Structure 1
Amino acid sequence: MAESILVRVRRLLSARIEDSVDAMERANNDGVMREAIREVDRTIDAVRGDQERAMTRRLQAARQTEMIARKVEELTAKARFAVDGGRDDLAEGALKRQIDLEQQTSNLADVQDLAREEEAKLDESLAALRGRKAQMQEALAAFEIARADASMGGDGGFSQARHVEHKVEQAEAAFDRAMSGAGGVGFARGDVGALNSVAEIDAMQKNASVAQRLAALKQASKAA
């Protein structure tokens, strides 16, 4: 496994998405996050290529192992034939060749084990990178929506919303860490759009309740 791939994976997984969002805000464009997403895509392709090469090594080693097993069986038959013919010297040569091939089988088993471990690690890296890409895409989409809202309502509301969202994200992250440390499972973090929708529904319900009470008061006044 190429060390450069591992370094790239660790760098991308350890990078803070919030830093990219802050950089986008300072530059007032989304190029930073888009380039970061492209870098994740390039790394996914590289990891997938390494995984395919590891699988190829494993399959080749497995095929060689099968070929050697057949050869060992042939040598057993040859050694038996030599003994029956009174040629122990030839039988010994066949058995020595068997030992050499069996050693190769052991080496090939190690190759298969290492390749299998490498495939598993690379598969984990792929899953993590795909998850990171999804997070980046969500952050980019949220930034673009917030920027569009700011263009219609001014930067003040946008900056305040980002500040509040950042605080909420920090609180959720702290809660997740506490749950994980206690052996629990952290809750899935809420989508910003979904949270805003719920807040708007709460406001609508409150307004409807006020309207109902006001209507009741007016009805009671007329009855009096």
Structure 2
Amino acid sequence: MSEKLTSRVGRIISGSFNALLDAVEDAAPEVTMEQAIREVDDAIEDVRSELGKIIAAKHVATKKLADKNAQHEDLSVKIDFALKEKREDLAEAAVAQQLDIEAQVPVLEQTIADSSDSEKELEGYVAALLAKRREMSEELKAFRDAKAASQSGPGGVSPSISADISKATKTFERIMDRQGVSLSQGTTSAKTAAQLQELEQLSQENRIKERLTAIKSRLGE
């Protein structure tokens, strides 16, 4: 993963709710929050795109390694045949080709190993970004609930509701300031955002079920 993308994901994931810059007073809170979530969606898309490239490169290297190993085995058979036919010159040529293959195999194996490490790292980034998105979505929901309650309640906004609105607003605006998220960047389409949200929900439900199953198994239930 490029250093720029790594830094971008790191800033998003490491953002703290307790030690961020003051919110911009004139910003539209709800619009700002929605935009911040779309920016996280963009980051998820970029990481997944990088992950796709890594998986493709790993596939190519794996196939090439298999081809080289098959070629090496085929040459071994031909070497035996050449020697039986008293054609040592042909056997030498085949051995030379085997040595070339053997020089390439470690490089291909290292490429596959590096790709596997990068694949695992990127999958971790996707999981972390999805978790951050859920966190931000919860804050947006809290803001909207508090806003709706303040508009329907008598006598204006209660201190507790005002505190909820302020907390939600500051959370998103401070995240954007601290993490360098730009409102001018492109956003995901509505269809893509909906698909990502559905995938996120399914993934989260599956992780919850797996965790509960593991706990029940440990307790002997």
1:98, distance to aligned residue in structure 2 (A): 0.4
CA deviation vs aligned residue, 1:94-118 (integer Å, no higher than 9, x gap): 1121011122121111111011111
Q: How many Å separate the matches in 1 of 2:77 and 2:167?
A: 79
| Aligned 8 A contact 1:23 1:32 in 2 | no
For 1:72 and 1:6, the matched residues in 2 are separated by 39
Tell me the alpha carbon deviations over residues 36-61 of structure 1, each in whole angstroms, 9 at most, x when there is no partner: 10011011111111111111111111
More deviation, 52-61/112-121? 52-61
Instruction: Return closer, same or farther for 1:113/1:69 CA change in 2, 3 Å cut-off.
Output: same
Is 1:100 the counterpart of 2:103 in the alignment? Answer: no
Q: Cα RMSD over matched residues?
A: 2.7
The answer to which of 36-45 and 8-17 deviates more is 8-17
Instruction: Verify: 1:159 aligned to 2:162, yes or no.
Output: yes
Q: Which residue of 2 aligns with 1:124?
A: 124
Q: Give the Cα separation in 1 of the matches to 2:22 and 2:144.
A: 13
Q: For 1:142-181, what aligned pairs fall within 5 Å after superposition? A: 142-151=142-151, 152=153, 153-157=155-159, 158-160=161-163
The 3 A distance-change label for structure 1 pair 15 and 105 is same
Q: Name the CA distance, whole Å, in 2 between partners of 1:16 and 1:23.
A: 14
Aligned to 2:83: 83
Letter in 1 for 2:114: L
Could you tell me how far 1:148 is from its partner in structure 2? 2.3
Query: Larger Cα Rg: Structure 1 or Structure 2?
Result: 1
Structure 1: tracts of 5 or more residues without a match = 166-224
Structure 1, 154-163 or 87-96: larger mean CA deviation: 154-163
- Whichever residue aligns with residue 156 of structure 2, its letter is G
Percent of matched pairs sharing the same residue: 32
* Secondary structure of residue in 2 paired with 1:50: helix
Paired residue type of 1:70: A
The corresponding residue for 1:62 is 62
Name the SS for the 1:86 alignment partner.
Answer: coil
- Give the drift of 1:25: 6.9
Specify the SS of the correspondent of 2:8. helix
Q: Quick check: 1:17–1:136 contact (8 Å CA) kept in 2?
A: no
* Aligned position for 2:196: none
- 1:99 maps to a residue whose letter is L
For 1:109 and 1:74, how far apart are their aligned partners in 2? 20
The AA in structure 2 aligned to 1:109 is: E
User: What is the deviation of 1:143?
Assistant: 0.9
Asked if the contact 2:142–2:164 (Cα under 8 Å) also holds between the matched residues in 1, the reply is no
Using the size of structure 1 for normalisation, the TM-score is 0.65
Indicate the residue corresponding to 2:49 in structure 1.
49
Q: How far 1:160 moved relative to its partner?
A: 4.4
- Residues 53, 95 of structure 1: CA spacing in aligned structure 2 closer, same or farther, 3 A cutoff? same
Counterparts of 2:135 and 2:157, CA distance in 1: 24
Q: Distance in 1 between matches of 2:70 and 2:149?
A: 71
Give the Cα separation in 1 of the matches to 2:22 and 2:56.
43
Q: Deviations over 1:148-186 (max 9, x none)?
A: 223334245233456899xxxxxxxxxxxxxxxxxxxxx
Question: Taking structure 1 as reference, are residues 98 and 45 closer, same or farther at Cα in structure 2, changes over 3 Å only?
Answer: same
Which structure carries more helix by proportion? 1
What is the aligned length? 165
Aligned to 1:73: 73
Q: Secondary structure at the match of 1:95?
A: helix
**Structure 2: distance between partners of 1:60 and 1:160:** 55
Letter of the 2:101 partner, please give it. Answer: L
Q: Deviations over 1:107-162 (max 9, x none)?
A: 11111101111110001001000000000000011011112223334245233456
The residue correspondences of 1:177-196 to structure 2 (distance < 5 A) are none
